[in-house]
Amino acid sequence: MATHSPARVVLMFAGLFTFLAAFTLNSLSRFGVRSGIFKQSTEEVIIKYKTPITPAQWALFVWDFMYIWVFAMFVYFLKGLCRRNAYDWMYTTPAVLPYGFHVSVIMNIGLNIAWLFLFDRELLLPGLITTTLMTLTDYMILYFTYHGLKIYGAWLNKFRNTDLWLIRILVQNGTAIYTTWGTLFTLLNLTIYIQYETDVTKCDYAMLSLLLILMKLLVWFLLENFYLDEHVRYIVTIYPVVILWFSGALSNSDAPQTRSYTFAAVILAISCAMFVARIALVTWKHYKRPLYNNKGPNMSPIEIALTQRRLFL
C-alpha cells in the first residue's frame, strides 16, 4: 500500500513558501522606499557601490529568469505529490532529491532574504558573510542533485526517462544558474567591501576578483568534462550566466583602457570558447558514451533506498 512521507511533504512546502516570500521581497526591493519595507532599491545600492566588475542594470534581468526557473522546479516537485508508480508515490520512491537537498534549499533562500535587508541597509561586511554562506549552500544543493542521480539515474533512465530529463533540466541546470550567479555576486560583494571599506585600490582588487573567477572557470571546466562527467554531464547553463555577467560588466565600464577591463574581456572570450566546447563535448558524449546501458539496475528503488544514509533518503 502506497504511503506518504509527511516530513518530505513539509520540507517541500516549506521550501515553496520560503521561495515565494523571497520572490515577493525581491520584487518589492525594486521599489525601494515606496515598498514600505526597504529604504532604497537593490539597483540603487549596486549603482552607489559601483566596481569594475559590476554588471549593467540590463544584465540583472537574470534574477527574474532565475526565479521563473526555480518556480518551475517547485511545480515539478508538487506534481510528484500526485503521481504514483508501481512501488509508491513518485516523490518518495525513488526519492531522487533527499532530505538534505530540501533543507539546503530552505537555508539558502532564508539567507537570500537576510541579504536583501543587509544590502538595503548598506551593511557590507554582514552582507558579504551572508552571500558567502549562500554560495556554500548553493554548492550543497548541487551536491545533493548529483548524488541523487548517481544513485537513481540508471533506474530513472530505464523506467522514468522523462523524469530523468526534467531533473536534469529543471533541477540541475536551474540550480547551476542560481549557483553561478550567486558565486559571481559573492565576488562582487567582496569587491565592494574591499573597495569601499579598505585602502585597496579599485584596479588591484578588481584584478584579484577577476583572477579568482578565471581560476574557478578553468578548474570547473576540467572537473565537469574529465572527472565529474558521470554526475554533471548535462549541465550547460553555467557559461551563459558568466557570459551575460561580463557582457554587462564591460558595457557598464567607464574606463575601457584599464587592465581590469582587458582582463574581463579575456574572461568573456574564454567563457564563450568554453561554452562552445562544452556543448560540443556533451553532444559527442551523449551519442558515443551514454551514461547508462540498456540493462538498467538490478535493484528496485526501495532496495536502493535501504542502502542509503538517512540524509540521502
Does the structure show a pLDDT above 80 at 184? yes
Residue 87: pLDDT band (50, 70, 90) is low
Q: Taking 60 as the threshold, does the pLDDT of residue 313 lie above it? A: no
Location of C-alpha cell 508515490: 89
Predicted pLDDT at 235: 95
pLDDT for position 161: 86
How many other C-beta atoms can be found within 10 angstroms of the C-beta atom of residue 159? 16
Is a pLDDT exceeding 80 seen at residue 238? yes
pLDDT at 294 over 70: no
Whether 1 shows a pLDDT value over 60: the answer reads: no
How many angstroms separate the Cα of 296 from the Cα of each of 87, 176, 240, 285? 17, 27, 33, 19
**Integer Rg of the chain from CA:** 21
Q: What residues contact residue 175 under an 8 Å CB cut-off, 6+ apart?
A: 73, 138, 141, 142, 145
7, three cell numbers: 516530513
How far apart are the C-alpha atoms of 81 and 4, rounded to whole Å? 8
Least confident of 43-52, 124-133, 262-271, 291-300: 291-300
Cα 89 off chain centre by: 27
Q: How far apart are CA 112 and CA 131, in angstroms?
A: 8
- What percent of the chain has a predicted confidence (pLDDT) above 70? 87
* Whole-number pLDDT of residue 306: 47
Give the pLDDT confidence of 21-53 residue by residue, as tens digits.
999 999 999 888 888 899 998 888 988 998 888
Given a cut of 70, whether residue 312 has pLDDT beyond it is: no
Q: Give tens-digit pLDDT for 299-309.
A: 555 545 545 55
> Is 3 in a helix, a strand, or coil?
coil
Specify the pTM: 0.89
Instruction: Output the pLDDT for position 308.
Output: 58
Residue that the C-alpha cell 533562500 belongs to: 109
Contact indicator for 122, 45 with CB cutoff of 8 Å: yes
Share the mean pLDDT of the chain. 86
Q: Give bridge partners of residue 84 from the DSSP assignment.
A: 89
